[in-house]
Amino acid sequence: MKKKIIVFGVVILLLLLGFISGGLYLAEIEDHYGDLQEIYFDSKTGDIIINKQTGKFGLITKNWKRAYVIAKENDTLDLYDLIYVNQHENKYEVLRSDKDLKIKDLSFEKIIQLKKDNLIETIIKN
C-alpha cells in the first residue's frame, strides 16, 4: 500500500514539474518574441524570411529556444532584429520551398519571382 502511494506521489510530482517546465518554456518564447512567436512556432529551419520594407532576407535556423536568420552577408541575426527596425515592426513574409535553396544564390528580386512562379509558398505574412 505504501509503495502505491509513493509511486502515485512521484507520478503526480513529475507531471506537475513537466507542466511548470512547459509553461516556463512558453513564457520564455513569449517574453523574447512577443508578437513574433507565431513565426517561431510555425516556421522550420530552411524557410526564407523577408523584410518587405528594408529588402533584407535570410534563411531561418532554429534551436529549442531561439530562431536565427542567416543573411546573405553571412550575418546571423536574431529573428527579432530582422523584423523590428527602430522599435517598429516591419512588414515581413515567411516562405517555404520544397527545394533546398542556397542563400548565396538568392536576391530579393529572385525571391519575389519564385513566389510569382509558385515555386515557394507563403507560410506567414503580416
Distance of CA 114 to the CA centre of its chain: 21
**Strand arrangement, sheet containing 76-78:** 76-78, 67-71, 57-62, 48-51, 92-97, 120-125
Report how far residue 121's alpha carbon sits from residue 30's, in angstroms, rounded to the nearest whole number. 26
For the record, the C-alpha cell of 45 comes out as 529551419
Given this model, what pLDDT does residue 23 score?
94
pLDDT, tens digit, for every residue of 84-118? 888 888 899 999 988 888 888 888 888 888 888 88
